[in-house]
Structure formats: C-alpha cells, structure tokens
Amino acid sequence: MRIGMCAPIDKAATVASMGFDYLEPRTFPIAALDEGAFSALEEVVRGLPIRCAAFNMLFPRDMMVVGPEADAKQTASYVGKAVSRVAALGAGILVVGSGASRMIPPGWDMRKGMDQFADTLRCVGEESAKHGITAVIEPLNTRETNLLHSVAEGALLAERVGHPNVQLLADFYHMRLESEDMGSILRAGPVLRHAHIANSDGRTFPRQRTEDRYDDFFAALKAIGYQGMLSLEPMSGQLESEAPGSLALLRELAADHGL
C-alpha cells in the first residue's frame, strides 16, 4: 500500500525525507493562482523528490455548489481550470470533500441540494476523464456539512452519478465520528478508490495501534481487495515530530493485513 501525507507543496522535501510515498495538497489555492505563479509552481513540482499523486479540498469555502447561490456555469468553469492544473502537477486522485461548499442552506430542499451536488460531481467526472484522473466523493461528519455523511451514502451517490471517473473515498476519522460500521467499506468495495486516516480523538496523528479501531479499518480494506492509496490527514500535531511515528504505525498495519 502506498501511504501519503496531506500537506502543502512546500513541505514536500520534509515529507519525502520521512519516507512517505506521495503528497496530497489542497486544490483550491492552486486554482486561485495567476498564470505566472502557476507556471512557477509547475517548475517547483517538477523538481520535487516526491509526487503530488492526490489533491483534496477542490472548492473554496465561499463557492457554493448547492443552494440558491450555486451557479452551474461558474462551477463548470472553475472545475475545468482546477482539474487541468492538478493534472499538470501529477494528480491521479482528486478528492471532492469541501463541506462548506455543499452545505444546504436553511429553507432549501435537501433533495434538490443532492441533485445539485450530483450534477457537480458529473461535471468533475467529465473534466477528470479528460486528464485520466479519478475524482472521489468524500463523506464528511455532521460537524462539517449537512449533506452526505457516510460511506454507505457515498456509495449510493457514486452509483447514482454513474460516471466511471467519479468514485468514493473512505475516511477513517469521519467514519468514527459518525459511528459508521466498517462493514460499509465491504458494501462500497466496487466504488472505493481512495482512503484517509487520522486518530478520531481530536483528528491527530495516529500514535498507538490500540488507541482507535485502526485494525478494523485495515481489515475491511483487505477484505475488498483494496488497491488504492492511503493518506494521513491529521489537523493537529507537529508534522516533523509526529509524522514519522504515524507512518511506521500505518506501514505496520498495512503489512499485518496484507495490504
């Protein structure tokens, strides 16, 4: 199993020196760069010791893709630019999480919001297909969005979207916060293409095997014959001091479960 780190591009050398296999930066800051700045970034990325194999956070917080403020034409224009840029930087996976952008506003019909999100995903899928990228839907916990909270729901949405370049992500942290059974991974196996992990207690770096249900997560991935990557995605802690230990733990878990 290839294990990567969710971190900015300027941390690539540090992440590579620790032994991670790839980097997973955020998308929306890259989409916001002017052409000159992006060209300079391309040169930097070509010289990195590690590949930016995945990107996350496609949409900025203030860009709504559901509700009355959503603008399908604006979304399509943005998606075209964002996808082409991450493709140029080496992306194979594009994570569609962006909880704030898919937050259904008060008074807006939830079914209509889900229809809008499905249309957005089809747009992302069409653009991703042009560049050989797989976009993955990221279910998020209820603290971050009010639309799509479980791997089970995500699998149904991926099937509804019906685009080969729109698949699914399983995030251990969000699954644990939603008390979702790891059996959802078994049922979602045919569409599961990417995974994230962090300690569910504070979204920190995993430290000890027994502190959380890591073994259950890895066992479920093994059971579906998972062939994808796994990105470490803590939101607190110190990269330099804590990431190496987390990487060692994840490699141990992967090896013990035959991944």
- State the CATH architecture for 3-256: Alpha-Beta Barrel (3.20)
| Distance, CA of 11 to CA of 39 (rounded, Å) | 19
> pLDDT tens digit string along 4-61?
999 999 999 999 999 999 999 999 999 999 999 999 999 999 999 999 999 999 999 9
Six-digit token string for 43: 């040169």
Q: What is the dihedral of CA 199, 58, 157, 205, to 10 degrees?
A: -10
Which residue, among 158, 146, 144, has the nearest Cα to 67 in the 3D structure? Answer: 146
CB atoms within 10 A of CB 211: 13
Q: Taken in order 257, 216, 92, 134, is the CA torsion positive or negative? A: positive
Please write the tens of the pLDDT for every residue from 176-216. Answer: 999 999 999 999 999 999 999 999 999 999 999 999 999 99
